[in-house]
Structure 1
Amino acid sequence: MREPARRAGKASVQLLVGAGVSVACYLLLGVLMVTAVLSVTVVGAGLLPEGVLTVRRLAGFQRRRTSAWTGEPLPEAYLPLAGSLPARLRTMAADPGTARDLFWMAADLVYGMALMSAALLLWVPALLVDAVWCGAAGKDAVLLPLIGRLADLEASWSHLLLQPSPDAGTADRIEQLTVTRAGAVAAHGAELRRIERDLHDGAQAHLVALSMRLGLARRAYDSDPATGRRLLEEAQDQAETALTELRHVVRGIHPPILTDRGLAGAVRALAAGSGMAVDVETGGIEEGPRAPAAVEAAAYFAVAEALTNAAKHSGSDQARVELDRSPGMLRISVRDEGRGGALAGGDGSGLLGLRRRVAALDGAVGITSPAGGPTVITVELPCAW
């Protein structure tokens, strides 16, 4: 009987704290009603957002209690109360999380106190009956476990009422997509500027020089054929250089090696040209259908950026690349045994560009790089194989 009594005592403490929360709900609801009545004045309207923040804190305390009792996470989702007073009032009125909190407070006034009262009324008969039952029949307690079930019932109702609104999940998703879209636009703009710079400084300069040499060769052709031929030879060399520059630009947009050899072959080529001893594990990527071209390109550039950073900054000459396919997902891991300390820094950082490129495909990037190493960069890309 000792163990059932211990569990019942723990449940009673849970219910007692819950009753305290019910009292707080009662007091806070009264304050909110008075504040709502006074909201016709500037002072009352200014107090309403503070009252809502207090409600959120109380609901957050109840969520933590419930999660600790049930072992299940109970997240919160609110619209931020920021900006001017009218903006905060509009946000407060439209926030589904606040509405659910107020409904929970009203319900908790009833079930919180009722369950605690039931537990108090159950203790005396439970101790008497279970003591006789266990002593005479040598069987388990029958009434003491009911107190634990009352605590379970209180937690289950709180868990149901304090769950985030489905609308809050939609709002979070919209906010996430807004941030992702901004990152994708920034990455696209940076990519366009890079292509423009490469074309202007590389291929365009060589094409201008080619045009000049062809013009000189045409004027010299009749009067000085030897000079004309020399200028034509130089023009041919200039044309080949321009083609090389154009191929370089094209490789920066979509490497031809991806089309020719697939992601696994392209990653092996990156490993071979990295200047490091790189172990590549393809994880079945070469089997079955290929990933979409955009996903392969993002994966290729992710590996390229990770290996480039490792070669430049890690101080190690060893790395490992792992590719793994699963239903709906392509996973990439690049690990080096260097000094660590890699950060996704500010503008211009290769890792920041990597995050934006992956986020544009609704993927995720993880970086683990403690001081002393190792550095592990993981990339997950949604993929319809």
Structure 2
Amino acid sequence: MKERLWLEWRATRQLLRSAGLALASLLFLPVAVFTAVATLLVIGAGVLPEMVLLLRTTAGLKRREVENWTGEPVPEAYVPIVGGLSVRVRTAIADPGTYRDLRWLAAHFLYGWLLAYAALIVWILGLMVDGIWCGVLGHRAVLLPVIGRLAALDADWSRSLLEPSPDARRSAELAERVEELTATRAGAVAAHGAELRRIERDLHDGTQARLVALSMRVGLARRAYDNNPDAARKLLDDAQDQVQEALTELRHVVRGIHPPILTDRGLTGAVRALAAGSALEVEVAEEGLENGSRPPAAVEAAAYFAVAEALTNAAKHSGSQRARVELSRAPRALKILVRDEGHGGADEAGGSGLLGMRRRIAALDGIVQVSSPVGGPTVIEVELPCVW
């Protein structure tokens, strides 16, 4: 009996919470009407998107309540409200989810209170009738389980009102994907701009300066050749050294664009070369790459630079002596895992290069996941979609 009473009390609490949310609906509806009228008069346009976001939050609370009661989540589908004010207002008005939530809000105000009052009446009648029947017949009646059915009814009605249609869900997913691609494109453009500035800086500050100095030395050697051949020979020797240094810097710039080692050895060989040149003891494991077809060049380059950045960060910041790199081939993706046993605490905003890595990977519609709790380990997982 105690267990049954506990179940009915749990159902009652669910209905009381629903009634409380219905009270919030009573306060929200006049604000919604006022904002709608003010928007038509232009003076309330700035408030409308925020009101819709608040409406979504309120509906989200009810979705969680229904999920907690039934054990099944209630899906949601909203068009992201982003951009300038005019775009945000148009999105808030055009999104079918706004009207779906408003319809639920109005209906919930009615049935939320109705079901809560019904539960209280059932409690009173149930306790009274149970007391009478227990005294006369020696057992209790079964009125209280009706409360559980009332809570289930509240959940069913809310689910039917809040659950988006398949078309609305597809539209919201498409809008979310467009927003994601917009952000990805912006990140890719920023990463590309940063890369061009780096290449320009390397050429200007390094190679170009050495070529200017080389030109001056050759000019001095030509002037000194007739009168002082030894000095001219010394200048030409210095010029040759500068040519070698300029070529070395040019190779460094080229490696920053597309490492030649990728073309020569493939991704696995290039990563093994990175491991051999790392300050850490790096173990490289691969699965399904060496004997299969190679991924596209852009995917290989992104993967190579991701591993290089991860190993560089581990050597500089982790405090670890060892790292492990895993390369694996999935049906439609290339997967990379870099793990070090350092002290963790990697921060994307701390200038560690993780943000640039994420942008480079996102430009190819890839995913980067970083796990770096304080105390370690740090694990960086990269997944790049590709067709083998």
Q: Which moved more, 1:39-48 or 1:296-305?
A: 39-48
1:211 partnered with 2:215: yes
Judged with a 3 Å threshold, the aligned counterparts in structure 2 of structure 1 residues 242 and 46 are, in CA distance, closer, same or farther, namely closer
Give the conservation status (yes or no) of the 8 Å contact 1:81–1:92. Answer: no
Q: Give the one of 367, 371, 376 matched to 2:370.
A: 367
The code of the aligned residue for 1:320 comes to R
Q: Which runs of 5+ in 2 are unaligned?
A: 130-141
Secondary structure in 2 aligned to 1:236?
helix
Match of 1:354 in 2: 357
Q: Which moved more, 1:351-360 or 1:218-227?
A: 218-227
Q: Give the one of 286, 292, 302 matched to 2:290.
A: 286
The code of the aligned residue for 1:235 comes to A
The code of the aligned residue for 1:288 comes to G
Judged with a 3 Å threshold, the aligned counterparts in structure 2 of structure 1 residues 310 and 113 are, in CA distance, closer, same or farther, namely same
**Residue pairs, 1:224-239, within 5 angstroms:** 228-239=232-243
Give the conservation status (yes or no) of the 8 Å contact 2:283–2:324. Answer: yes
Match of 1:68 in 2: 68
In structure 2, C-alpha distance between the alignment counterparts of 1:43 and 1:21, rounded to whole Å = 29
In structure 1, C-alpha distance between the alignment counterparts of 2:290 and 2:157, rounded to whole Å = 50
Q: Which moved more, 1:92-101 or 1:49-58?
A: 49-58
In structure 1, C-alpha distance between the alignment counterparts of 2:355 and 2:180, rounded to whole Å = 17
The code of the aligned residue for 2:368 comes to V
Judged with a 3 Å threshold, the aligned counterparts in structure 2 of structure 1 residues 23 and 177 are, in CA distance, closer, same or farther, namely same
Q: Which moved more, 1:211-220 or 1:375-384?
A: 211-220
In structure 1, C-alpha distance between the alignment counterparts of 2:297 and 2:49, rounded to whole Å = 49
Match of 1:323 in 2: 327
Q: Give the one of 174, 191, 195 matched to 2:178.
A: 174
Q: Tell me how far 1:102 sits from its aligned partner.
A: 1.0
Secondary structure in 2 aligned to 1:345?
helix
Identity %: 64
Secondary structure in 1 aligned to 2:384?
strand
TM-score by length of 1: 0.76
The code of the aligned residue for 1:342 comes to A
Q: Tell me how far 1:179 sits from its aligned partner.
A: 2.6
Judged with a 3 Å threshold, the aligned counterparts in structure 2 of structure 1 residues 246 and 15 are, in CA distance, closer, same or farther, namely same
Secondary structure in 2 aligned to 1:380?
strand
Match of 1:138 in 2: none
Give the conservation status (yes or no) of the 8 Å contact 2:79–2:176. Answer: no
Q: Which runs of 5+ in 1 are unaligned?
A: 129-141
In structure 1, C-alpha distance between the alignment counterparts of 2:291 and 2:183, rounded to whole Å = 35
1:187 partnered with 2:191: yes
Judged with a 3 Å threshold, the aligned counterparts in structure 2 of structure 1 residues 184 and 9 are, in CA distance, closer, same or farther, namely same
Q: Give the one of 251, 262, 271 matched to 2:275.
A: 271
In structure 1, C-alpha distance between the alignment counterparts of 2:120 and 2:317, rounded to whole Å = 66
Match of 2:301 in 1: 297
Judged with a 3 Å threshold, the aligned counterparts in structure 2 of structure 1 residues 200 and 143 are, in CA distance, closer, same or farther, namely same
In structure 2, C-alpha distance between the alignment counterparts of 1:44 and 1:277, rounded to whole Å = 62
**Residue pairs, 1:103-252, within 5 angstroms:** 103-108=103-108, 151=151, 154-163=154-163, 165-166=168-169, 167-221=171-225, 228-252=232-256
Give the conservation status (yes or no) of the 8 Å contact 2:333–2:386. Answer: yes
Q: Which moved more, 1:265-274 or 1:216-225?
A: 216-225
Deviations 1:238-260 (A, max 9, x none): 32222221111101111111111
Q: Tell me how far 1:21 sits from its aligned partner.
A: 4.5
Q: Tell me how far 1:100 sits from its aligned partner.
A: 2.0
Judged with a 3 Å threshold, the aligned counterparts in structure 2 of structure 1 residues 62 and 234 are, in CA distance, closer, same or farther, namely same
Give the conservation status (yes or no) of the 8 Å contact 2:337–2:380. Answer: yes
Give the conservation status (yes or no) of the 8 Å contact 2:222–2:232. Answer: yes
Match of 2:344 in 1: 340
Match of 1:378 in 2: 381
Q: Tell me how far 1:269 sits from its aligned partner.
A: 0.9
Give the conservation status (yes or no) of the 8 Å contact 1:26–1:109. Answer: yes
In structure 2, C-alpha distance between the alignment counterparts of 1:23 and 1:313, rounded to whole Å = 54
In structure 1, C-alpha distance between the alignment counterparts of 2:246 and 2:47, rounded to whole Å = 69
The code of the aligned residue for 2:204 comes to H
In structure 2, C-alpha distance between the alignment counterparts of 1:97 and 1:288, rounded to whole Å = 47
Match of 2:266 in 1: 262
Judged with a 3 Å threshold, the aligned counterparts in structure 2 of structure 1 residues 222 and 183 are, in CA distance, closer, same or farther, namely same
Secondary structure in 1 aligned to 2:287?
coil
Give the conservation status (yes or no) of the 8 Å contact 1:49–1:81. Answer: no
Deviations 1:125-173 (A, max 9, x none): 9xx9xxxxxxxxxxxxx99999867755653553454346434433333
Secondary structure in 2 aligned to 1:267?
helix
Give the conservation status (yes or no) of the 8 Å contact 1:60–1:76. Answer: no
1:58 partnered with 2:58: yes
Secondary structure in 1 aligned to 2:337?
strand
The code of the aligned residue for 2:380 comes to I
Judged with a 3 Å threshold, the aligned counterparts in structure 2 of structure 1 residues 375 and 218 are, in CA distance, closer, same or farther, namely same
Give the conservation status (yes or no) of the 8 Å contact 1:22–1:109. Answer: yes
The code of the aligned residue for 1:55 comes to L
Q: Which moved more, 1:215-224 or 1:357-366?
A: 215-224
Q: Which moved more, 1:281-290 or 1:103-112?
A: 103-112
Q: Which moved more, 1:193-202 or 1:243-252?
A: 193-202
In structure 1, C-alpha distance between the alignment counterparts of 2:82 and 2:362, rounded to whole Å = 27
The number of residue pairs the alignment matches comes to: 376
